[in-house]
């Protein structure tokens, strides 16, 4: 693998990875698919980028392959090592041989950083404190998308009226992500935050736990929502953050 001029790439930016495959066998090889495996964020599966090739590599020759990679917020931030798998077949007089694979572990790395773009503050609404772990995950992913996440529980100001603080934070936000779980309706705080956000006409996305009915406050609205698994929410959260980013951009 030739060394690139820079390993750096922003989330949602595209980095071209150049690989050279040299055929050291005694027969022509058909390069079918090249796959890159990247390191994921905590709690998610490895991330894969597949690239269909369909090119023959002559004996003793090399074949350049360029794979564009666009990291989303599920990619591990900073140094992210990747491995390579190639799927190929031997070119025979009577046709093609069986598909073979070869894997190259920890070939190189990219350095993934937060984007320069500023998409403003996003207010994260959730049932406190039961769903704090969901909110912290949303905050981490949204920061990698260019947002400034706000979690009220992380901004406690003793002696100040809680709702004055929350109303002020909503007033300075550009968007709101609502996490609606099976615990949400045990309190009225999330509904009140939604009502305050709608008074300010914030861009709004709902994350609702799988198996739950759409809350009354969302019925008869056209607001986009994303269902998530209680045990594996990261992919759904990432999809919602990406959608909100695209709407604002």
Let me know if residue 176 belongs to a domain.
Answer: yes
Residue 173: what pLDDT?
A: 97
Q: What confidence score (pLDDT) does residue 115 get?
A: 94
- pLDDT one digit per residue (tens) for the chain, 249 residues: 777 778 999 999 999 999 999 999 989 999 999 999 999 997 778 999 999 999 999 999 999 999 999 999 999 999 999 999 999 999 988 889 999 999 999 999 999 999 999 999 999 999 999 999 999 999 999 999 999 999 988 766 665 677 888 999 999 999 999 999 999 999 899 999 999 999 999 999 999 999 999 999 998 888 889 999 999 999 999 999 999 999 998
We report the CATH number of the domain holding residue 156 as 3.40.50.10140
pLDDT of 158 reads 61
Are 218 and 202 in a shared domain? yes
Residue 190, domain extent:
121-248
Which pLDDT score is estimated for 160? 66
What pLDDT score does 239 carry?
A: 95
Q: Do residues 14 and 84 share a domain?
A: yes
Cα–Cα distance, 57 to 215 (Å, whole number): 58
pLDDT of amino acid 156: 65
Same domain, 99 and 34: yes
**Residue after which a domain boundary falls, among 79, 113, 147:** 113
Residues in the chain: 249
Distance from CA of residue 199 to its chain's centroid?
30
Q: How many domains does the chain have?
A: 2
pTM: 0.89
Domain boundary among 69, 96, 113: 113
146 and 182 inside one domain: yes
Same structural domain for residues 109 and 167?
no
**149 plus 172 within the same structural domain:** yes
Judgement on whether residues 134 and 37 belong to the same structural domain of the protein: no
> Is 1 a member of any domain?
no
């Amino acid at each position: 693998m030739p060394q690139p001029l820079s390993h750096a790439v922003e989330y949602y930016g595209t980095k071209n990875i150049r690989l050279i495959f040299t055929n050291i066998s005694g027969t022509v090889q058909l390069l079918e698919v090249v796959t890159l495996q990247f390191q994921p964020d905590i709690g998610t599966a490895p991330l894969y980028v597949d690239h269909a090739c369909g090119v023959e590599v002559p004996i003793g020759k090399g074949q350049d392959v360029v794979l564009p990679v666009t990291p989303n917020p599920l990619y591990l931030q900073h140094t992210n090592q990747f491995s390579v798998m190639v799927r190929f077949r031997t070119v025979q007089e009577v046709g093609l041989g069986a598909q073979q694979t070869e894997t190259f572990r920890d070939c190189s790395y990219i350095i993934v950083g937060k984007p320069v773009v500023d998409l403003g503050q996003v207010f994260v609404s959730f049932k406190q404190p039961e769903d704090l772990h969901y909110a912290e995950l949303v905050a981490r992913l949204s920061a990698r998308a260019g947002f400034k996440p706000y979690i009220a529980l992380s901004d406690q100001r003793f002696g100040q009226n809680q709702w004055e603080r929350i109303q002020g934070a909503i007033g300075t936000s550009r968007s709101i992500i609502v996490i609606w779980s099976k615990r949400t309706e045990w309190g009225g705080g999330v509904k009140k935050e939604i009502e305050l956000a709608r008074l300010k006409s914030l861009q709004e996305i709902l994350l609702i736990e799988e198996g739950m009915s759409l809350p009354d406050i969302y019925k008869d609205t056209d607001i986009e929502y994303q269902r998530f698994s209680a045990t594996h929410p990261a992919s759904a959260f990432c999809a919602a953050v990406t959608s909100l980013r695209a709407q604002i951009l």
